[in-house]
């Protein structure tokens, strides 16, 4: 309960007010009127002092929500919309008053509430015996439940005693925990299931009628009427119920007769009780009533509505005279000292643009200097007669259509630079010298000016965000900077932001338009993607020392979205190799670099891909997800991939959550804060939210241990601990007590070596070795001291700890060493980074060398490590070669990010994997650390005799086909009448080239966030996150053609923001194993079935399969896809036809006409469309038929008019 006393703050007359409500997301107060008008008002912030003007409620927006005869019965406010309830309609508007949708599904509605389980569902009740659920995103009807009573209603003062079919109107509906509470006028309160809206419990609250009902937490409170001598009278008791225990609690006595009850928004047990005459009591339901909990509200007549601010520090009430009163918890003297907070999460209120004031002064019409343009024009709703199309009175040759092109500022700034280049090329033969004698005009203060008339570069024919600079002929540093980067030393006047930048490629749709335009003009121009190839050729001989700053290909890359979505982004611009990159804009995408390292580590790849061939019952097995990802990258062959399924399993892993491995920074999708130049490596590394090198090393530890556990649970691999065979090194940790000299030893296993750097030597000490081999040897055989009690003498002394090779596994020469030596650089300070940075002196060797040699000495259990620079390599040692690295990249104006450098095993050399940017680099660039922007994190060394050291030939390689022969189901309530598929028999197992038809439906886990600019362009800030909800696969040939053999709904444990029922046909409860009537399987089971079909070589037939396979996160080779979207497509028309339109025009069948999609019906339709195409293609009449389809589709407006009117759908279906 608030400790500060409540005091009146202000009173404002607002006219007709029937209901009020505080905005929980902004400092606004919303009011509804009896004529259907909704008005919002700015709440005073208390900064203006104690004057009355600063305390008034000023209007923000006002709009008509319902007809004049319909009052606004209730207001609800979400984060993005304001919902108002009328007598027979619900309207959703933005806070600016712009309408979003209008629904008339409700009749004689009385109350509404958000669903207790899904905030995107709105439940409406009223006088009719029905409950209605609509979608808050678009107003579509989700379900309508008939709640006509099957038994006579108990007799009350307001029930129809002589009408057995009487239905008491539901006047109040509220959400309570996992239930929906409905309060009827008869006084009966029912608790209903939010998914089915069926009645679970009921209780009689007031025998003569219900007036108010509120819920909060586990509490439900009511006030109403009771019977006295057969007449209804107001009950002085506030009834309290415990919803969780389903029992009444002691009622609360309010002698002044309760009229309004409200819960405190921040304290669930604190209740506000007010009478119609203004008596207010604030009390705690659990604790005793304090003495100072009664207040008298200022009221000229009687109170009609009351609401509490989201912070709990203010309340508002309106009386019958339409005067709104504000009360606050602070005293009047305390309020002006700081801004008042009315809402807990304040959003900035969008204000309208300032309009210039019209000059309403009187004019002297006799004067000649008064322009008529100063006279304002009145507002008009219809087009004026003077509005004539310009084509009627202006010729095409007029400057109105042929505007004079303006010279762009960047071209003018290039004049000075271009004159210098011409002089350098013809006179000095050097681009780095400057001469003041190029066309001099005058010189002042030692500064030479040049002639203003000169040649400019040809006007560019590209988009606004694409830039190109002239080529420079200067020997080795000659490059056509198509990719938007300036070579150091050239163009010193350019800003740093315009250098080292990757250019942005054209969208695929734009490239198609450019290509068609070029074909029409008869010219052949290079594609924009050729620029990066040309630059790679011209800059092939450069090393990192040739660049002043970080090369642009190390910069952070980001996906751009067009109106066609991510499918329109040209990933090929960033990758011209045969190795696939990984996309960003996925939760925990910081793991991309580490996943690339694991994929190119062949033993791990073989282990993961072998693991998925066996039966694994774990629903979130990380080794399975790695196997599926690696298999997809094998098939992609350079096409970009995404780690959606791996990220989902990673995000719900309890061990990963406990280790705080979730990258919440990337969950906000690159909403960066600018870095200041003063921030150093030390400050960046000490901040766990900024140091990705520390985070990826911890993630590496987690993945190795998780893979170890997952592999041990699978006995079919034939190896007890395959991960330990690859990474583990056996050690013996010896402990010696300095007091009693007691020694003990215990065996340990380590999969990763943490590098320990030497401390700075004192003045009387010789400097420690600073080369990699010396540091690695001390890190492997580590000696430390720690204070602990001795097990022998019990003294608490500094025990000496020493880690040496286990003598049982350490044999002279090669044995006991791992196949993959994994190192964690552990760079956390500038001093540690100095070990890695390349020396500026000539003839000095780098810290990191491509090969090292390690030998063990059995007699002393010691290590000998050398790389010949400067420590000599042991001749009998095991040779290791550096094969991959994970680096943290820190640019001056970007947030840190991770990249991978991999020496590909097939002999292609070193490659950079910067998310979806993949580029071949030289070994010199890979091993060099020229500046602090390149920080090491994880390093992998592999044995050069890896083929002899490891033998994984016993690992299984063929996937078990029995999963296609089983009817797997995890639903506890599967309805046998809804089983529509027939599982394959042994003889029906598909072979290579077998035809199958497929369709999938999806639900939304996260809504798309979009910004709209003033010019109408659409900017995607956060893409929507979808997940597979249903997949259906049909036989495409044979006797049972068109019969589904897979029709699985996908079990989903993540919260679903939108079921997209109108597009997917999925309803709440369909994906829950406790309530689903369908065949329900885990996502991994459905994915494994599709993975098996792809590996068997099946050809998939469907409509819009590229998007389906992308969301499913599986790569299907193009040779195995027959997409009817592409079959029924004329490129010159630039329009793809929907499945419903094709079915209507070609098959004469209207599908999806019930407002939902059926994946079996859609897959069967795509199969019939393919058969029709194949028939006409063989007969030779396909082109004419397709032209006719486009002609008919255009006449229909590319839409099929539904036979039964339904709510318009937002978005596009298949």
The string of DSSP letters for 356-413 reads PPP------TT-SS--GGGSPPPP-SS--TT---GGGTS-TTSTTTSPPPPPPHHHHH
User: How does DSSP assign 869-908, residue by residue?
Assistant: SSSPPPTTSEEEEEEEEEEEE--TTS--EEEEEEEETTTT
What CATH number belongs to 571-717?
Answer: 3.90.70.10
pLDDT tens, position by position, 685-739: 444 345 788 899 999 999 999 999 888 877 666 677 888 889 988 877 788 888 7
CB atoms within 10 A of CB 352: 8
pLDDT bracket for residue 618 (50, 70, 90) = confident
Share of the chain above pLDDT 90, in %: 29
Crossing angle for the helix pair 602-611 and 592-599, nearest 10 degrees?
90
pLDDT at residue 627 in the model: 93
Query: 13 pLDDT exceeds 60?
Result: yes
pLDDT at residue 547 in the model: 47
pLDDT at residue 339 in the model: 67
Among the listed ranges 81-95, 306-320, 335-349, 704-718, which one has the minimum average pLDDT value?
A: 335-349
Mean pLDDT of all residues in 821-831:
90
pLDDT tens, position by position, 942-953: 988 887 778 777
Query: 1195 pLDDT exceeds 70?
Result: yes
- Those residues whose C-beta lies under 8 Å from the C-beta of residue 959, and which sit 6 or more positions away, are 612, 613, 1088, 1091, 1092, 1095
pLDDT at residue 1101 in the model: 96
Query: 795 pLDDT exceeds 80?
Result: no
pLDDT bracket for residue 768 (50, 70, 90) = confident
Query: 750 pLDDT exceeds 70?
Result: yes
Distance separating alpha carbons of residues 1148 and 1142, to the nearest angstrom = 9
* Residue 321 marked as a ligand binder: no
Of 444-448, 790-794, 851-855, give the range with the top mean pLDDT. Answer: 851-855
pLDDT at residue 785 in the model: 76
Distance separating alpha carbons of residues 974 and 288, to the nearest angstrom = 51
Measured CA distances, 94 to 111, 195, 242, 350, 351 (Å): 21, 27, 36, 11, 13
| Contact yes or no for 118/92 (Cβ under 8 A) | no
Compute φ and ψ for 554, nearest 5 degrees.
-90, -10
* Residue 570 marked as a ligand binder: no
pLDDT bracket for residue 421 (50, 70, 90) = low
Distance separating alpha carbons of residues 122 and 112, to the nearest angstrom = 7
Whether this model's pTM surpasses 0.75: no
* Residue 806 marked as a ligand binder: no
pLDDT at residue 507 in the model: 63
| Contact yes or no for 216/234 (Cβ under 8 A) | no
| Contact yes or no for 206/184 (Cβ under 8 A) | no
Distance separating alpha carbons of residues 518 and 531, to the nearest angstrom = 18
Distance separating alpha carbons of residues 890 and 931, to the nearest angstrom = 10
pLDDT at residue 197 in the model: 87
How many Cα atoms within 13 Å fall on the side-chain side of residue 700?
A: 27
Distance separating alpha carbons of residues 433 and 426, to the nearest angstrom = 13
Mean pLDDT of all residues in 254-278:
91
**Residue with tokens 């005799």, as numbered in its chain:** 945
Beta strands per DSSP E along 721-766: 729-736, 743-750, 752-754
- Hey, which residues does 447 pair with through a beta bridge? 444
Distance separating alpha carbons of residues 606 and 601, to the nearest angstrom = 9
pLDDT at residue 1163 in the model: 94
Query: 802 pLDDT exceeds 50?
Result: yes
- Those residues whose C-beta lies under 8 Å from the C-beta of residue 801, and which sit 6 or more positions away, are 733, 734, 735, 782, 783, 784, 785, 786
Among the listed ranges 54-63, 475-484, 1055-1064, 1146-1155, which one has the minimum average pLDDT value?
A: 475-484
pLDDT at residue 912 in the model: 92
pLDDT at residue 488 in the model: 35
Distance separating alpha carbons of residues 751 and 726, to the nearest angstrom = 9
Q: Is 784 helix (H, G, I), strand (E, B) or coil?
A: strand
Compute φ and ψ for 667, nearest 5 degrees.
-70, -25
| Contact yes or no for 1128/1137 (Cβ under 8 A) | yes
| Contact yes or no for 144/132 (Cβ under 8 A) | yes
Tokens of 295: 């207040």
- Residue 186 CB-density burial (10 A; 0-12 exposed, 13-18 middle, 19+ buried): buried
Bond preceding residue 600 cis, omega within 30 of 0: no
Mean pLDDT of all residues in 218-225:
92
Among the listed ranges 474-488, 707-721, 1022-1036, 1055-1069, which one has the minimum average pLDDT value?
A: 474-488
pLDDT bracket for residue 1051 (50, 70, 90) = very high
DSSP state of 557: P
Of 117-126, 375-384, 699-708, give the range with the top mean pLDDT. Answer: 699-708
Query: 1146 pLDDT exceeds 60?
Result: yes
pLDDT tens, position by position, 233-243: 999 999 999 99
Distance separating alpha carbons of residues 532 and 327, to the nearest angstrom = 65
What CATH number belongs to 7-337?
Answer: 2.130.10.10
pLDDT tens, position by position, 517-565: 665 555 444 444 444 444 444 344 444 444 446 788 888 887 777 666 6
CATH architecture assigned to 961-1195 = 2-Layer Sandwich (3.30)
Mean pLDDT of all residues in 473-481:
32
| Nearest alpha-carbon partner for 105 in 82, 121, 88, 93 | 88
* Residue 1123 marked as a ligand binder: no
Cα angle 931, 933, 939; round to 5: 95
| Nearest alpha-carbon partner for 776 in 691, 845, 866 | 866
> Edge to edge, what strands does the sheet with 279-284 contain?
260-263, 270-274, 279-284, 294-296
CB atoms within 10 A of CB 350: 11
The residues spanned by each domain of the chain are: 7-337, 425-505+532-567, 571-717, 961-1195
Mean pLDDT of all residues in 23-50:
84
The per-residue pLDDT of the chain, averaged, comes to 78
| Nearest alpha-carbon partner for 1127 in 1160, 1174, 1191 | 1174
DSSP state of 1118: G
Tokens of 1195: 């006449």
């Amino acid at each position: 309960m608030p400790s500060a006393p409540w005091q009146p703050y202000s009173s404002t007359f607002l006219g007709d007010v029937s209901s009020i409500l505080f905005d929980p997301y902004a400092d606004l107060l919303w009011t509804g009127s009896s004529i259907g008008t909704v008005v919002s008002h700015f709440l005073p912030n208390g900064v203006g002092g104690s004057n009355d003007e600063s305390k008034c409620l000023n209007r923000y927006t006002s709009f008509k929500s319902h007809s004049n005869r319909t009052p606004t019965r209730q207001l609800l406010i979400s984060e993005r919309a304001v919902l108002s309830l009328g007598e027979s309609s619900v309207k959703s508007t933005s806070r600016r008053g712009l309408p979003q949708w209008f629904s008339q599904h409700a009749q004689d509605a009385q109350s509404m509430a958000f669903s207790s389980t899904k905030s995107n569902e709105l439940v409406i009740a009223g006088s009719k015996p029905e409950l209605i659920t609509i979608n808050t995103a678009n107003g579509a009807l989700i379900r309508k439940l008939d709640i006509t009573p099957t038994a006579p209603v108990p007799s009350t003062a307001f029930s129809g005693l002589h009408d057995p079919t009487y239905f008491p109107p539901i006047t109040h509906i509220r959400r309570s925990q996992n239930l929906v509470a409905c309060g009827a006028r008869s006084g009966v309160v029912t608790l209903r299931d939010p998914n089915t809206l069926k009645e679970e419990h009921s209780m009689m609250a007031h025998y003569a009628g219900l007036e108010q009902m509120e819920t909060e937490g586990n509490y439900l409170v009511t006030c109403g009427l009771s019977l006295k001598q057969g007449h209804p009278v107001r009950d002085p008791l506030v009834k309290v119920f415990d919803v969780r225990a389903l029992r009444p609690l002691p009622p609360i006595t309010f002698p002044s007769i309760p009229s309004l009850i409200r819960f405190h928004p921040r304290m669930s047990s604190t209740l506000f009780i007010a009478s119609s005459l203004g008596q207010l009591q604030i009390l705690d339901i659990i604790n005793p009533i304090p003495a100072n909990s009664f207040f008298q509200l200022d009221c000229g007549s009687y109170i009609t509505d009351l609401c509490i601010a989201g912070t709990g520090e203010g309340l508002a009430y309106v009386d019958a005279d339409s005067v709104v009163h504000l009360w606050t918890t602070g005293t009047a003297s305390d309020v002006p000292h700081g801004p008042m907070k009315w809402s807990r999460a304040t959003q900035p209120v969008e204000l309208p643009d300032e309009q210039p004031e019209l000059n309403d002064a009187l004019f002297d019409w006799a004067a000649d200097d008064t322009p008529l343009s100063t006279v304002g024009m009145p507002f008009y709703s219809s087009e004026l007669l003077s509005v004539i199309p310009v084509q009627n009175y202006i010729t095409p040759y007029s400057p109105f259509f042929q505007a004079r092109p303006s010279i762009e500022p960047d071209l003018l700034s290039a004049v000075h630079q271009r004159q210098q280049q011409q002089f350098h090329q013809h006179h000095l033969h050097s681009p780095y010298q400057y001469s003041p004698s190029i066309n001099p005009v005058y010189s002042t203060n030692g500064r030479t000016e040049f002639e203003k008339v000169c040649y400019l570069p040809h006007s560019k024919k590209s988009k606004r965000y694409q830039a190109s600079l002239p080529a420079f002929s200067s020997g080795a540093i000659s490059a056509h900077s198509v990719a938007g980067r300036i070579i150091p030393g050239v163009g010193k006047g350019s800003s740093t932001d315009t250098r080292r930048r990757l250019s942005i490629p054209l969208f695929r749709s734009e490239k198609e338009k450019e290509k068609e335009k070029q074909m029409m003009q008869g010219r052949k121009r290079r594609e924009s993607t050729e620029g990066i190839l040309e630059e790679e050729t011209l800059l092939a001989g450069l090393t990192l020392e040739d660049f002043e700053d970080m090369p642009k290909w190390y910069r952070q890359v980001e996906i751009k979205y067009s109106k066609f979505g991510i499918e329109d982004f040209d990933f090929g611009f960033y990758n011209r190799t045969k190795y696939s990159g990984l996309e960003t804009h996925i939760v925990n995408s910081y793991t991309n670099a580490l996943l690339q390292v694991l994929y190119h580590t062949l033993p791990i790849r073989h282990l993961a891909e072998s693991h998925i061939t066996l039966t694994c019952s774990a629903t979130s097995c990380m080794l399975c997800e790695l196997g599926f990802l690696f298999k997809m990258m094998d098939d992609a062959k350079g096409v970009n991939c995404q780690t959606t399924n791996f990220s989902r399993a990673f995000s719900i892993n309890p061990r990963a959550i406990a280790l705080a491995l979730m990258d919440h920074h990337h969950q906000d999708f690159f909403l960066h804060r600018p870095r200041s130049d003063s921030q150093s490596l030390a400050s960046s590394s000490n901040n766990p939210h900024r140091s990705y090198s520390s985070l990826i090393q911890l993630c590496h530890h987690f993945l190795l241990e998780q893979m170890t556990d997952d592999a041990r649970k699978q006995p079919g691999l034939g190896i007890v601990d395959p991960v330990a065979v690859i990474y583990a090194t056996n050690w013996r940790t010896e402990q010696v007590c300095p007091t009693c000299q007691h020694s003990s030893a215990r065996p340990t296993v380590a999969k990763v070596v943490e590098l320990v750097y030497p401390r700075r030597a004192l003045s009387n000490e010789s400097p420690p070795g600073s080369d990699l081999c010396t540091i690695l040897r001390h890190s492997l055989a580590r000696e430390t001291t720690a204070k602990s009690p001795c097990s022998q003498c019990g003294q608490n002394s500094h025990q000496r700890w020493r880690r040496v090779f286990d003598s049982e596994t350490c044999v002279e020469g090669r044995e006991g060493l791992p196949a993959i030596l994994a190192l964690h650089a552990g760079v956390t300070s500038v001093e540690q980074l100095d070990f890695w940075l390349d020396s500026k002196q000539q003839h000095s060797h780098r810290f990191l060398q491509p090969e090292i040699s390690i030998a063990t000495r059995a007699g002393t259990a010691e290590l000998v490590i050398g790389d010949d620079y400067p420590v000599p390599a042991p001749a009998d040692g095991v040779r290791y070669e550096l094969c991959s690295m994970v680096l943290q990249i820190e640019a001056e104006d970007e947030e840190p990010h991770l990249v991978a450098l991999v020496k590909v095993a097939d002999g292609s050399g070193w490659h950079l994997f910067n998310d979806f940017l993949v580029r071949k680099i030289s070994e010199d660039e890979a091993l060099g650390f020229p500046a602090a922007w390149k920080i090491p994190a994880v390093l992998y060394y592999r044995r050069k005799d890896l083929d002899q050291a490891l033998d994984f030939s016993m690992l299984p390689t063929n996937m078990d086909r029995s999963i296609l022969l089983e009817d797997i189901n995890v639903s506890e309530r599967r309805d046998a009448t809804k089983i529509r598929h027939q599982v394959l028999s042994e003889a029906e197992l598909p072979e290579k080239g077998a035809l199958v038809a497929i369709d999938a439906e999806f639900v939304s886990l996260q809504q798309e966030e979009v910004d709209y600019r003033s010019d109408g362009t659409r900017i995607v800030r956060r893409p929507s996150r979808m997940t597979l909800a249903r997949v259906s696969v049909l036989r495409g040939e044979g006797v049972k053609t068109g019969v589904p053999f897979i029709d699985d709904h996908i079990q989903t444990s993540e919260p679903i923001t939108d079921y997209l029922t109108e597009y997917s046909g999925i309803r709440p409860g369909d994906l829950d194993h406790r309530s689903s009537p369908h065949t329900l399987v885990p996502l991994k089971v459905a994915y494994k079935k599709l993975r098996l079909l792809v590996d068997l070589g099946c050809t998939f037939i469907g409509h819009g399969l590229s998007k389906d396979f992308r969301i499913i996160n599986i790569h299907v080779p193009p040779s195995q896809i027959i997409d009817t979207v592409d079959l029924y497509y004329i490129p010159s028309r630039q329009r793809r036809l929907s499945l419903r339109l094709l079915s209507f025009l070609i098959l004469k069948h209207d599908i999806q006409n019930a407002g939902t999609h059926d994946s079996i019906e859609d897959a069967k339709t795509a199969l019939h469309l393919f058969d029709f195409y194949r028939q006409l293609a063989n007969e030779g009449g396909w082109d004419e038929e397709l032209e006719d389809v486009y002609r008919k589709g255009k006449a229909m407006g590319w839409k099929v008019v539904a036979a039964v009117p339904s709510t318009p759908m937002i978005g596009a279906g298949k």
